[in-house]
């Protein structure tokens, strides 16, 4: 008999009707150990991966934002000169900078700060004083920014040893890379969701096929399609939900176990989540349940529609 599911039957297996629960009806689906474990495992594994894809996307998004915001507002002036002229040139450079439009603040780094910057590379025992290290001047722009070319010309005339680095050269590819990684992370999330839907559809199909006798018996004794479909859909939706909750818990535990980003890392950032971003993983189990609901309902609809 090729009769389609009635609209009423479809309405009855809507998410709301499903949540009401019907412990009696649930028992008609045999507790099949294998597909149950498979669905649970698939949902848990996929959610575990999704937590990382999510963390990756959020972290790279944060990184891209950090780099483009913080670095864009600052640049560095490097003054290389013989040791006896460094102080005079620094003074001259600071004067130039103070009279430059678009520069909010300019500050020469102290010897300690410079040593701090070099420490990760040379170790703490470096006698900075004895080395011909150029003086660094940190420039913070105001909202409008300055004209880099004009500033370079002025500096060339007044402070011959100064080199202006506005960071743009290496900032842009980094920001672009971070944005690409974020896009890849989001694509991974979509793929993970799709794979989970596919796996749950396969599991639901195999469960429906394996329970052909159950379905035949239920039809024989007068069960409507909505009753049969609901029993299966509910089973799989709850399985996917609990599997995803398990995967999420494990994923979060793994994230918490990651080493925290070091303060010295500066503009680098850890893979972990920050602030309200911690909410996102908790969205995953309901999403997994919704994916499973849609996948199982489609499978049940297809199967029951073709059945006598």
Partner 1 sequence: MIELDNLAYSYGGGELLSDISLRLTPGSFHFLTGPSGAGKTTFLKLCYGALIPTAGQAVLFGQDVREMSRDDVATIRRRIGVVHQDCQFLDHLTVAENIALPLMVSGQDVEAEQQNLEELIAWCGLTQRAGALPPELSGGERQRAALARAVIMSPEVILADEPTGNVDWEMSQRLLALLVELNRMGKTVMIATHDLGLIRAAKSRVQARVLRIAKRRLQLAGADL
Binding region for partner 1 (CB under 8 A): 1, 3-6, 8-9, 24-25, 27-28, 30-31, 213-214, 216-227, 304, 308
Query: CB-wise, 26 or 179, nearer to partner 1?
Result: 26
Give dist(CA 247, CA 294) in Å, integer. Answer: 20
What minimum distance in Å lies between the beta carbon of 243 and partner 1?
Answer: 22
Q: Which two tokens stand for residue 42?
A: 């698939």
Query: CB-wise, 5 or 291, nearer to partner 1?
Result: 5
Specify the DSSP class assigned to residue 28.
Answer: T
What minimum distance in Å lies between the beta carbon of 290 and partner 1?
Answer: 26
Query: CB-wise, 108 or 299, nearer to partner 1?
Result: 299
Query: CB-wise, 1 or 131, nearer to partner 1?
Result: 1
What minimum distance in Å lies between the beta carbon of 224 and partner 1?
Answer: 4
Contact assessment for residue 153 and residue 88, using Cβ atoms and an 8 Å cutoff: no
Give dist(CA 133, CA 82) in Å, integer. Answer: 10
3-state secondary structure 140-178: EECCCCCCHHHHHHHHHHHCCCEEEECCHHHHHHHHHHH
Query: CB-wise, 24 or 130, nearer to partner 1?
Result: 24
What minimum distance in Å lies between the beta carbon of 49 and partner 1?
Answer: 34
Contact assessment for residue 232 and residue 208, using Cβ atoms and an 8 Å cutoff: yes
Query: CB-wise, 110 or 306, nearer to partner 1?
Result: 306
What minimum distance in Å lies between the beta carbon of 66 and partner 1?
Answer: 57
Residue in this structure with the two tokens 């008609």, named with its chain if needed:
28
What minimum distance in Å lies between the beta carbon of 205 and partner 1?
Answer: 20
Alpha helices per DSSP H over 13-164: 15-20, 23-26, 33-66, 86-98, 111-122, 148-158
């Amino acid at each position: 008999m090729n009769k389609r599911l009635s609209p009423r039957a479809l309405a009855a297996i809507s998410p709301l009707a499903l949540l009401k629960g019907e412990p009696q009806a649930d028992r008609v689906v045999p507790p099949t150990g294998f597909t149950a474990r498979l669905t649970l495992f698939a949902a848990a594994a996929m959610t575990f991966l999704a937590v990382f894809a999510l963390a990756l996307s959020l972290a790279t998004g944060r990184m891209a934002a950090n780099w483009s915001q913080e670095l864009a507002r600052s640049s560095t002036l490097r003054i290389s000169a013989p040791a006896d002229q460094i102080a005079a040139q620094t003074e001259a450079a600071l004067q130039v900078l103070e009279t430059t439009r678009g520069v909010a603040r300019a500050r020469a780094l102290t010897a300690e700060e410079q040593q701090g910057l070099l420490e990760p590379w040379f170790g703490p025992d470096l006698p900075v004083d004895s080395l011909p290290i150029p003086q660094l001047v940190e420039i913070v722009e105001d909202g409008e920014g300055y004209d880099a070319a004009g500033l370079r010309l002025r500096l060339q005339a007044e402070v011959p040893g100064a080199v202006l680095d506005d960071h743009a050269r290496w900032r842009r590819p980094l920001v672009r890379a971070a944005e690409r990684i974020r896009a890849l992370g989001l694509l991974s999330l979509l793929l993970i969701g799709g794979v989970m839907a596919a796996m749950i559809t396969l599991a639901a199909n195999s469960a429906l096929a394996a329970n052909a006798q159950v379905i035949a018996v239920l039809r024989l004794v007068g069960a409507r399609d909505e009753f049969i479909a609901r029993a299966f859909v509910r089973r799989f939706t709850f399985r996917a939900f609990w599997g995803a909750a398990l995967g999420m818990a494990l994923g979060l535990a793994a994230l918490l176990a990651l080493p925290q980003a070091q303060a010295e890392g500066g503009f680098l950032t850890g893979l972990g989540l920050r602030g309200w971003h911690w909410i996102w993983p908790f969205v995953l189990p309901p999403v997994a349940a919704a994916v499973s609901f849609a996948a199982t309902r489609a499978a049940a609809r297809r199967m029951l529609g073709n059945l006598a």
